[in-house]
Amino acid sequence: MRLINSPGSDSLAGKKVRLLDSKGQEVAIVPFSVAVTNADSEGLDLVELAPDAKPPVVRIMDYGKFIYEKKKQQKDARKKQMNNNQVKELKFHVNIHDHDFQTKLKHASEFVAKGYKLKITLQFRAREMAHPELGDALMERIIETLGETVTIEAKPKLMGRNMSMQLSPGSKKA
């Protein structure tokens, strides 16, 4: 895709081109000079879309606006891709109070809404290790509370004094 400014400065001078208007609708097959005149009368640019087509395809558009929107889309795509790779970790203890639990889950919901993956870590202290079923119950409570907003990537596993699981945004599968 390239910008064409004047009829004399291009290899299309004297050739016929397929002209598309600013909305993308085909106008007709016209001489190149007519296409440039139409673009000038609308105050827009003439952009060559398909130089290898027979006849070449040109479109009347605001080239600066087009480039700006294209860069903006690429930036948004890059931002989404970066968020998908980042993992946010939330740490809990077995004897967590209800208000603290609700606060941490509120943060978890915000992270999921922004597209981050979550790592939920449950830390056992001292004699809490004798009751891993309390940890399982807390992990189930977390999954139930977050509901349909998450997918379980890695089920809860006990490793040493920590139990952890991995969640990602999306519908529940497990």
Q: What is the pLDDT of residue 108?
A: 94
C-alpha 98: how far from chain center: 34
Looking at residues 41-48, what average pLDDT do you find? 89
Q: What is the pLDDT of residue 52?
A: 84
| pLDDT band for position 10 (cuts 50, 70, 90) | low
> Checking DSSP bridges between strand 16-20 and strand 57-61, what pairing results, if any?
parallel
Q: What is the pLDDT of residue 5?
A: 56
What span, in angstroms and rounded, lies between the C-alpha atoms of 4 and 14?
14
Give the tens place of pLDDT for each residue, 58-116. Answer: 999 998 888 899 999 999 888 777 766 789 999 999 999 999 999 999 999 999 998 88
**Residue in 44, 50, 66 with CA at minimum distance from that of residue 18:** 50
Helix axes 98-113, 132-146, angle to 10 degrees: 50
Q: Which has more confidence, 3 or 163?
A: 163
CB-based contacts of 12, cutoff 8 Å, min separation 6: 4, 32, 48, 56, 58
Give the tens place of pLDDT for each residue, 104-156. Answer: 999 999 999 988 899 999 999 999 999 999 999 999 999 999 988 999 999 99
C-alpha 81: how far from chain center: 6
Angle value at C-alpha 114, between 148 and 136, nearest 5 degrees = 45
Domains and CATH numbers, the chain: 2-65 (3.10.20.80), 86-169 (3.30.110.10)
CA distances from 100 to 124, 132, 162 (A): 16, 20, 19
